[in-house]
Each structure stands twice: as C-alpha cells, then as structure tokens.
Amino acid sequence: MQVTRTRARLSDGREIVYYDEEPGRVPVPDPRGLPPVEPLCETRRDPLTGDHVTITAHRNTRTFLPPADQCPLCPGGPASEIPDPSYDVVAFENRFPSFDLRTPGVTPAVDGAAIFERGRGAGRCEVVCFTDDHGAAMSALPVHRVRTVIEAWADRTAELSALPEVAQVYVFENRGVEIGVTLHHPHGQIYGYPFVTPRTASMLAAAGRHRASTGGELFADVLAAERAGARVVAAGEHWTAFVPAAARWPVEVHLMPHRHVPDMVALTGAERDELAVLYRDLLRRCDAMYGTPLPYVAGWHQAPVGEGRDLVRLHLELFSVRRAADKIKYLAGSESGMAAWINDVPPEETAARLRDLAGA
C-alpha cells in the first residue's frame, strides 16, 4: 500500500506528520503562535519493585473532554492541533507529554538518597488521529483507512525506535469515558519509553525461563495451545485472535501473528493487509457484545529496542472494564493493591460470545 508522508511543524516547534492515501498535500501553517513546549518529565525507580514511575506535573493541566466545537483533533478549528482543513491519518507530538527529549536534567537521586533513583523522562509521546471525522470510530472506518493507520503505526514505531533515548515503543488506543479518555475524537497514542516497561520485563523473564527449560519460544507455544483450544475468536492466514486462558479482564482478547516478529516494522504487506480486516472485525464484535460502544484499551506490545527481540512477539492486548451491560469492573483491593487479578467472567464464555458475533 502506498501512503504519502508529509512533515511539518506546529507553531511551538512540535512535529506533525500527515499520512495521506493520495499525494499532493501542502501543509497549512499553524496560526496559533503557541509558546515553546517546556515539559517537566522525570522517572523515579521504586526500590521495592524495581519499577519506574513517571512524574509529570505539567500534564495535570491537559485538555479534558472539551465540547465538539472546541476539539483539538478536529481539522482546522481555532483550538485544533491540526491546522489543515482535512486529513486522512495524522501523528503529532503530544502537547502534554509523559516523556519528552526537551525535558531538563535532574539530580540522580530524590532527596540525595541513592536508593531513590531518579532520571530524565527523555522519550517521546505522540497522538495519532485515525480520521478527521469527530463522530467516527476505528471500528467504523473503511478497511483501507485502518490499513493507513497501520502504516502510520509502523512508521512511527521505526522513527521512535531510532531515538537513542527510547528503550521501548508502545502503540495504544483508549476508548470511552469509563477508561478515562480526555478527548472523544477517534485517536490513539504512541509512547517512546526511556525504560523497558514492567509488563514487558515480566514477559522477557518468562520467555527466557521458558526457553531455558523447554528450548521453545514462549509466544509460539502459547499461540499453538490457544489455536488448539476453545477460546479462538477469529483467525486468518497470518493472525489469530483469542481470549487468553488466564484472562484478567471480563473482556480481553489477544491478537497475535503466526510468525515471530518483534514489532510492526517487521510485518509484511500481506500481514498488514490481513491485520486491517481482522482488527476491524474484532472491534466490531466487541462493540456488539452489549449493544453499545465498548470502552477499551487496545495496546500493541512490541519488543524492546535493544534486548529480547527474539523473545517478545508483537501482539495486541485489548481489554475492557465492562463486565456486563450495566456493570463496570473496578480494580479493587486485590488487583490495585497486590496485582492479584480476579476475573468474574470465564474466558471461555467471553470467547464464545465474541465468536457468535461474526459479521457484527
């Protein structure tokens, strides 16, 4: 698929990149005259777990659920981050980033105590708008537009992975006020972390143990077992969607390629083509579960930039907090306090429901 990439700058210096299905774009200058971005991002390591926590005081003032006529992701409006009057897919640096290369240096320890390790939150955060239609959704887009989004995801992954400060790239979409979205316009985000995230670190450790004890690849063996079981939702030549055997959420689906690839950059054209069809189909099934748009997080797990690329396989983890048509799963003491998950819905039941929604 041919997608034309066009770069420009917003008035405060942030980069914006258009991904068009037809060539010929001449970017409109940003008329807002914004002051330069001055992010304050730092990471602190929890000495009890080894996990990084990011502190970003400037994000507390970010835009929160503005009315549609003031949406910063609609094209060309007075509050818009996208100056052009229309677009297909566009990515730009987040105005309220969790990580940023421009963030100032910090002292290496909180309170001067070496046990409280601190570092610059030097990475990159981007917003990716899937369409200029404020009332649309990823599941409602034509397949060719979903395919364009996938091209943008892969291109941004490649660019962020090349930054020396970035250790891992995470592509994700939050949808629904129940999840905590602050903008309704169809969009996702990309984080270029300056560290390997805790969940990926756990996967790396598990995959290393599996290889040492069995000689096999953990993700390949999980996929083979799931494809032989009762929790497959949909499958194609290159991808399989399944509810994992140990699903943590009442609605949770993983989408995994049949061959080992570390990230989106490594996908072939045929794999991207099928992904556009299968991913949209999966989102439509999810929306049909309760007869109302499903609040969800859809996150693409990719291998770290510099380690474990033969151990961690690219895959989607989509989950929702909705456990019934009129009920939300709140993280209670066991999940929030101890990260010990309790799922009220058997994974086999969720898989059967999603399977039955073919063609939704």
Q: What is the pLDDT of residues 228-272, one digit of tens each?
A: 999 999 999 999 999 999 999 999 999 999 999 999 999 999 999
Is the same domain home to 29 and 169?
A: yes
For residues 38 and 100, give the distance between their C-alpha atoms in angstroms, rounded to a whole number: 9
- Whether residue 16 is predicted with pLDDT greater than 80 in this model: the reply is yes
Mean pLDDT of 284-308: 96
**What is the extent of the structural domain holding 203?**
199-356
- In percent, the amount of the chain with pLDDT more than 70 equals 99
Q: Average per-residue pLDDT in the chain?
A: 95
Q: What positions carry a catalytic annotation?
A: 187
Residue that finishes a domain, picked among 175, 196, 217? 196
Mean pLDDT of 267-280: 98
**3-class secondary structure, 149:** helix
Is the same domain home to 170 and 224?
A: no
- Which is more confidently placed, 305 or 327? 305
CB atoms inside a 10 Å sphere around CB 146: 21
- Any bridge partners for residue 117, and if so which? 109
Q: How far is C-alpha 101 from the geometric centre of its chain's CA atoms?
A: 20
Residue that finishes a domain, picked among 196, 215, 242? 196
Residues in the chain: 360
Q: 268, 272, 261, 227: which is closest to 245 by C-alpha? A: 227
Torsions phi, psi for 52 (to 5 deg): -90, 140
Is the same domain home to 152 and 95?
A: yes
The one-letter code for the residue type at 89 is V
Q: In the numeric block, which tokens belong to residue 16?
A: 């914006």
pLDDT value at residue 212: 98
- Using only C-alpha atoms, the chain has a radius of gyration, in whole angstroms, of 21
Query: What Cα–Cα distance (Å) separates residue 9 from each residue in 4, 18, 288, 323?
Result: 17, 11, 40, 43
For residues 253 and 221, give the distance between their C-alpha atoms in angstroms, rounded to a whole number: 17
Q: Dihedral sign, CA of 102, 108, 110, 112? A: negative
The model's confidence at residue 360, banded by pLDDT at 50, 70 and 90, is confident
The structure's pTM equals 0.96
Which secondary structure element, helix H or strand E, spans residue 124, and what is its range? strand 124-129
- In percent, the amount of the chain with pLDDT more than 90 equals 88
Is the same domain home to 214 and 167?
A: no
Query: Who contacts 3 (Cβ-Cβ below 8 Å, separation ≥6)?
Result: 19, 20, 21, 148, 151, 152
The one-letter code for the residue type at 112 is G
Is the same domain home to 289 and 347?
A: yes
Residue that finishes a domain, picked among 147, 170, 196? 196
pLDDT value at residue 59: 79
Is the same domain home to 204 and 141?
A: no
- Whether residue 64 is predicted with pLDDT greater than 80 in this model: the reply is no
**3-class secondary structure, 189:** strand
Is the same domain home to 136 and 27?
A: yes
For residues 271 and 311, give the distance between their C-alpha atoms in angstroms, rounded to a whole number: 20
- Which is more confidently placed, 330 or 142? 142
- Whether residue 60 is predicted with pLDDT greater than 90 in this model: the reply is no
Q: Are residues 3 and 87 in contact, defined by beta-carbon separation less than 8 angstroms? A: no
For residues 288 and 282, give the distance between their C-alpha atoms in angstroms, rounded to a whole number: 10
Q: Are residues 120 and 52 in contact, defined by beta-carbon separation less than 8 angstroms? A: no
The one-letter code for the residue type at 85 is P
CB atoms inside a 10 Å sphere around CB 199: 13
Is the same domain home to 257 and 125?
A: no
The model's confidence at residue 181, banded by pLDDT at 50, 70 and 90, is confident
- Total domains, the chain: 2
Q: In the numeric block, which tokens belong to residue 306?
A: 């510099």
We report the CATH number of the domain holding residue 269 as 3.30.428.10
Is the same domain home to 217 and 177?
A: no
For residues 194 and 48, give the distance between their C-alpha atoms in angstroms, rounded to a whole number: 20
Q: What is the pLDDT of residues 188-211, one digit of tens each?
A: 999 999 999 999 999 999 999 999
Mean pLDDT of 23-29: 96
The model's confidence at residue 182, banded by pLDDT at 50, 70 and 90, is confident
Is the same domain home to 230 and 132?
A: no
Q: What is the pLDDT of residues 87-123, one digit of tens each?
A: 999 999 999 999 999 999 999 999 999 999 999 999 9
Is the same domain home to 211 and 352?
A: yes
pLDDT value at residue 332: 85
Is the same domain home to 231 and 326?
A: yes
| Structure-derived torsion over alpha carbons of residues 337, 339, 345, 351, reported in degrees to the nearest 10 | 150
Q: In the numeric block, which tokens belong to residue 317?
A: 């983890």
For residues 258 and 40, give the distance between their C-alpha atoms in angstroms, rounded to a whole number: 41
Torsions phi, psi for 6 (to 5 deg): -130, 125
For residues 55 and 97, give the distance between their C-alpha atoms in angstroms, rounded to a whole number: 11
